[in-house]
Structure 1
Amino acid sequence: MKKLRRGILVFLPITLTILMALSSWSCTNIVVGKDASADGSVITSHTADGAFYDARVRTIPGKTFPAGSKADVFWNIVMEEDYEPKKIGEIPQVEKTYTYFHVGYPFMNEHGVAIGETTIGQKEELKTFHPDARAIMTIEQLEVFALQRAKTAREAITVVGELAEKYGFLPSCGSEGECITITDSTEAWIFEIRSAGLMWTPDSGKPGAVWVAQRVPDDCVVIVPNMSRIREIDVNDKNNFMASKDYMQPAIDNGWYDPNSGKPFIWQEAYSPLTGNDDWSLSSMWIRNRLYTLYSQLDPTREWDPYAETMSYPFAIKPQKKLSVQDVMTMLRSHMEGTPFDMAAESAWDIREGDKIAKSPLTTPFVTKDLRNLLKIPYNRPVAKWDCAYSFVSQARSGYPAPVRTVLWFGYDNPHTTCYVPIYSGVLETRKNWRTFDRNTFSLDSTQWAFILADDLVNHRYQEAIADLKAVREPLEQGFAKQVLEIDKKALELAQKDPAQAQEYITKFTNECMEKTEKAWWQLNWDLISKYNNNKKK
């Protein structure tokens, strides 16, 4: 063990340097309607692309409160800043809250409602900032309240919309807008929100946010890569749209839309920056390349332009084949292989071996800034990011009782090198090592550190080491997928007799999966250190 610890110390400073130097604030969501999924489930997903966003998976039990109680409102729930969340306000508490799963962007509750998040751009006039703003509702705080108070996706939208309008939407990712993808066992929704500007106050008589929501067609998939996807709104079509009362008014007031022009109101264009140096603009290449990559996978029979304007992509697309949970995992793991944006395909990696040209064994799609500068490799933002805190794919199934209604497949760090572990919506508590993490102190008692280290070790010798990782991961994930089918049957039987027993059963299973993965990943780390350290003869 002393030798292993010494090996860790060799690689750890490199890992920390890379993680702290790279940018965050960028996430990708893939949402699948029930008729577009292989098993009839409704799927959403999320990559929390911030190196140290809070990834401790904790269950926050529901409670009953006396009349007149208050609910605290916090800043820094995502833990982007290295301090605990700070209270910045309070609102009236409801009589009863539901149990939910807490991470940086809380993602599921006991009723199987699941929420993904991705930041989207908004125009300068709408921006507001902490602590100068009177608005107090960040998107992550709104997610907390939605999961505590809603049994369905539509209820969650109502909770988020009403609270944001009353108390003001406060951007927490820079000063940008937000999109959350909300699912239950029958529907998937795209919800987009913008703030009301720095001068807004609660007593102004105006709403503190403007928002719209559009239902994902049941037979389609929607990709949200840090851009507004909703265009025209039909508030009379209540089956497919929801919106704040005055969703057009800020655009009218700022001269972005003339209601007398005879032209339709396009939400996406009214509130998003179109061009410029802003990474959040609709013309941004780091948005275009993800749209191209993922739409090409959904419909490979269609000829997609890698450099097409983002607005040219349809809101939703019917995939050529129905998607499984594993298909969505594969999409999240993409480094844009086979596209013009794959950094591993750059000729700078080529080396001569006799009369032949081969790729260097150091070739990697996840190139650090220093290495890009050295090799003159242009940066392309991949779908999977090395500085991702966690990602998930949620699977909500109709006809299932609440404790087993949704299975959320959770993975730490880079989606490309993670292992997705099943967490049922009725799980009572997660394994201790999966809710333990200190960004400043490496620990063998934190599963998150196991995945951070493995991702870095693989990246040092990617061409060979990724095969070692897959040899460990694939049997685990395949085994979990088979086990879930059996666990479902037993849990359903128990749920009909005693829901409490069903919860204990699925809690035990989820924690066993966590423990098995944790042990496998530490062993993978020891094997990688032993196999690829610089004392080996070359």
Structure 2
Amino acid sequence: MPCTTILVGKRASYDGSTIVARNEDSPGGQFEPKRMAVVEPADQPRTYTATESHLTIGLPDDPMRYSSVPDALPGHGVWAAAGFNEANVGMSATETITSNERVLGADPLVEYVPARGTEGEEGYVPATPGGLGEEDFVTVVLPYVRTAREGVERLGALLERYGTYEMNGIAFSDADEIWWLETVGGHHWIAKRVPDDAYVTMPNQLGIDYFDLADAEGDQVEHMASADLRAWMEANHLNLTMLAPHVVDDALDDICDELADTLFDADDDMLDDLDGFMDDVREGLLAGDIFNPREAFGSHSDSDHVYNTPRAWYMQRFLNPSDGWDGPNASFHPESDDIPWCRVPERKITIEDVKYVLSAHYQGTPFDPYGRDGSAATRGAYRPIGINRNGQLAVLQIRPYCDHAHACVQWMAFGSNPFNALVPLYANVHAMPAYLENTPAVVTTDSFYWANRLIGALADARFHDNSAHIERYREKVGAAGHRMLRETDAEVAGLAPEEVPAALERANARMAELLRRETDDLLGKVLHTTSLAMRNAFSMSDN
């Protein structure tokens, strides 16, 4: 599915948390209702059959409880999307990403092939199952892993065995690490640890731009990959890195120049470490250990420049504003192919920053569809991050200063992100509040999902008239959420571990009740404001 992801390392976040966040967007012309759910071990299948690919696999007999954000309507699979398990491991799956013809020719996607003919008759060919995909990943991985690294290892093994029918990016987190895995063709994959002091921006495009094969084949400090990746790349001529010594030296000189600008106050030891690092990089490049996966496995298509790269540009423009992102002398433009996969932010990143970038529609630029700058052409030039078909936003926060039993918070928003608010919910519970868990097929304000869809559709028509209502709502809900977390953390600090889930459920319920009141109030205000602007209005009144 089309989505947008941001990952925030623990030293880059405002409170030392690891933060994984992703918009799940429906395909064009569709609006897939979403809901929250908690899956108990007894409800987890021991044999799993994928709806999309018809693949059947056995699952371990010792699953953990986990939270999720599945599709609300039955009949086409689970699509669990994002959640935490009892071991405080988070998973977000997936960011649909791009590839190229060379990769897909070297390792074709494993697609479902329907049966041909009639069973029992001559010429009948049975159906061939496909691989695993977004529909399946959370269900078959999250209940069974106890660290982010284990998540990469389990999913990697499943990909190598069963394959996938699509290109995907998947995030795993625990209190110490975030790992990002990208599928490469049908059976291959790479994974990279997010630096603790950095954030990652991911539109629907293969993103990793620096990979160390020697590390992936050795200690796996920051890189992991399918076992035969090097041989497969060599056999299919996929490494596009320029290995001429003068090219390598020029590239490293450019890197050093950029680092010097940010390390102006570095001491001698830091500079010596930097020199040593650059020597290692040079040796790795010349040995073929270091390469750019985005060049080898990804795409630089015209559609990327409309659909993908502008989103990364805007997120990094917001989080590193001093770098200069506009004008003819800017280092990066909305259509740049070399926007970094990760970078160190100018200041610590908050939950509110994450919500802002994942709701963005190019505010402050000529590309804002609601803006007054630019022209009609520029205002529709690029695909927004906060788009009409956002289905849900899950922000997975693991707080290192809290006891294990209440460290994980799953911040949730439903509907189009420019018109909604994030609400925090503790993940270590046996059920989620009905307001977020129950999303029926019929439209109703008893559902957080449907209420947000209604607000977005109404507010969009009179964006500027309604923006103040939405800003106040977002601030009030967010402030109440932070207060709820602070008060509940103190409340459960002295409880026995077995008592904590029930206390967290009560806190979630109180938060949901406040959320419902504020959402109903916002809906009333937006309905009134937009009704006044209906085209069949008339100034003369009969009162």
TM above 0.5, one fold?
yes
Instruction: Identify which range, 518-527 or 475-484, moves more after superposition.
Output: 518-527
Q: Give the alignment partner of residue 203 of structure 2, picking from 225, 230, 233.
A: 225
Residue of structure 2 equivalent to 1:516:
514
Superposed, 1:140-155 pairs within 5 Å as: 140-155=135-150
- Is 1:532 the equivalent of 2:509? no
Report the alpha carbon displacement of residue 322 of structure 1 after superposing the two structures with TM: 0.6
Specify the alignment match of 2:36 in structure 1.
57
How many Å apart are 1:237 and its aligned residue?
4.7
Is 1:107 matched up with 2:89?
no
Q: Quick check: 1:403–1:425 contact (8 Å CA) kept in 2?
A: no
Does residue 1:296 correspond to 2:329, yes or no?
A: no
1:385 aligns with 2:375: no
User: Quick check: 1:36–1:318 contact (8 Å CA) kept in 2?
Assistant: yes
Contact 1:251–1:271 under 8 Å retained in 2: no
Q: Secondary structure at the match of 1:416?
A: helix
The offset of 1:376, in angstroms, is 9.1
Alignment of 1:93-104 (within 5 A): 93-103=59-69, 104=79
Distance of 2:371 and 2:225 partners within structure 1? 44
Deviations 1:365-424 (A, max 9, x none): xxxxxxx7xx99534211211210010222112253333121111000112211211111
Equivalent position to 1:426, from 428, 437, 440: 428
Structure 1 match to 2:480: 479
- For the 8 Å contact 2:189–2:225, the answer to whether it is kept is yes
Shift of 1:258: 7.9
- Normalised by the size of structure 1, how large is the TM-score? 0.78
Aligned residues of 2:184 and 2:190 also touching (Cα < 8 A): no
Find the counterpart in structure 2 of residue 417 from structure 1.
419
Which residue of structure 2 lines up, in the alignment, with residue 256 of structure 1?
238
Q: Deviations over 1:451-508 (max 9, x none)?
A: 00001111111111121122223112111112211211222221xxx22211001111
Aligned partner of 1:130 among 112, 126, 137 = 112
Q: Aligned AA for 1:384?
A: G
d(CA) in 1 for partners of 2:526, 2:240: 61
Query: Aligned equivalents of 1:27 and 1:89: distance in 2?
Result: 25
Give, in angstroms, the shift of residue 130 of structure 1: 3.4
Q: CA deviation at 1:57?
A: 0.3
C-alpha distance in 1, partners of 2:537/2:429? 45
Indicate the RMSD between aligned Cα atoms, in angstroms: 2.6
CA distance in 1, matches of 2:231, 2:393: 36
Residue 183 (1) aligns with residue 176 (2):
no
Residue type of the alignment partner of 2:523 = N
CA distance in 2, matches of 1:321, 1:513: 29
For the residues of structure 2 that align with 1:378 and 1:309, how far apart are their CA atoms? 15
**1:389-468 equivalence runs, <5 A:** 389-439=391-441, 441-468=442-469
Structure 2 CA distance for aligned equivalents of residues 267 and 249 of structure 1: 15
Runs of 4+ deviating beyond 6 Å: 258-261
Q: Which has the larger radius of gyration?
A: 2
Residue 210 (structure 1) aligned with residue 231 (structure 2) = no
Following superposition, the deviation at residue 300 of structure 1 comes to 1.2
Report the AA paired with residue 434 of structure 1: L
State the distance in 2 between where 1:323 and 1:377 align: 28
Paired with 1:139 and 1:454, the residues of 2 have a C-alpha distance of 28
Q: 1:53 & 1:154 partners in 2: Cα distance?
A: 31
Q: Deviation digits for residues 251-304 of structure 1, max 9, x if unmatched?
A: 4444334899765543222222333x5x3x5xx332221121111112111123
> What residue in structure 1 maps to residue 76 of structure 2?
none
TM-score scaled by length of structure 2: 0.77
- SS at the partner of 2:171? strand
* Partner-residue secondary structure (3-state), 1:334: coil
- The answer on whether the counterparts of 2:111 and 2:129 sit within 8 Å (CA) in structure 1 is no
Gap runs ≥5 in structure 2? 70-78, 115-127, 244-285
Which of 89, 111, 114 is the aligned partner of 2:55?
A: 89
Provide the C-alpha distance between the structure 1 equivalents of 2:322 and 2:299, rounded to a whole number of angstroms: 32
Cα deviation, residue 167, structure 1: 1.5
Contact 1:256 1:270 in 2 (8 A): yes
Unpaired segments ≥5 residues, structure 1:
1-24, 77-86, 172-176, 197-208, 350-371
Matched letter for residue 165 of structure 2: L
1:330 aligns with 2:376: no
1:160 matched residue in structure 2: 155
Q: C-alpha separation between the residues in 1 aligned to 2:242 and 2:300?
A: 22
Contact 1:289 1:341 in 2 (8 A): no
Conserved 8 A contact 1:70-1:90: no
Which residue of the other structure, out of 108, 115, 118, is the alignment partner of 2:95? 118
Q: Which residue of 1 aligns with 2:16?
A: 40
Asked if 1:27 corresponds to 2:27, the answer is: no
CA contact (8 A) 1:106 1:140 kept: no
Of 238, 260, 271, 2:220 maps to: 238
Q: Mark the CA change 1:242 to 1:300 in structure 2 (over 3 Å): closer, same or farther.
A: same
How much has 1:27 moved relative to structure 2? 1.1
Tell me the amino acid that sits aligned with residue 59 of structure 1. V
Which residue does 2:498 correspond to in 1?
500
SS in 1 for 2:380: coil
| Counterparts of 2:149 and 2:32, CA distance in 1 | 27
What amino acid sits opposite 2:431 in the alignment?
Answer: E
After superposition, give the CA deviation of every residue in 1:198-218 in whole Å (9 maximum; x if it has no partner). Answer: xxxxxxxxxxx1111111111
Q: Output the amino acid matched with 1:507.
A: E
Residue type matched to 2:343 in 1? I
**39-48 or 328-337, which deviates more:** 328-337
SS in 1 for 2:459: helix
State the alpha-carbon separation in 1 of the partners of residues 382 and 294 from structure 2: 24
User: CA offsets, 1:151-191, max 9 Å, x none?
Assistant: 211111111111111112222xxxxx111122111111111
**Aligned pairs, number:** 451
- Which of residues 45, 48, 52 in structure 2 aligns to 1:72? 48
Relative to structure 1, the CA distance from residue 297 to residue 537 in structure 2 (aligned partners, 3 Å threshold; closer, same or farther) is: same
Identity among equivalent pairs (%): 24
> Does the 8 Å contact 2:390/2:415 carry over to 1?
yes
Shift in Å, 1:450: 0.4
SS in structure 2 of the partner of residue 391 of structure 1: strand
Deviations 1:81-102 (A, max 9, x none): xxxxxx8233232131011122
Counterpart residue identity of residue 220, structure 2: K
Match of 2:299 among 249, 254, 273: 273
* Equivalent position of 1:202 in the other structure: none
What is the SS of the residue equivalent to 2:55?
strand
Task: Work out whether 1:286 is the aligned partner of 2:307.
Answer: yes
Show the 5 A alignment for 1:356-395: 378-395=380-397
Whole-Å separation in 2 of the counterparts to 1:218 and 1:184 = 12
Cα distance, 1:62–1:54 mapped onto 2, change above 3 Å: farther
Deviation at 1:127, TM superposition (A): 3.6
Distance 1:31 1:213 in 2: 14
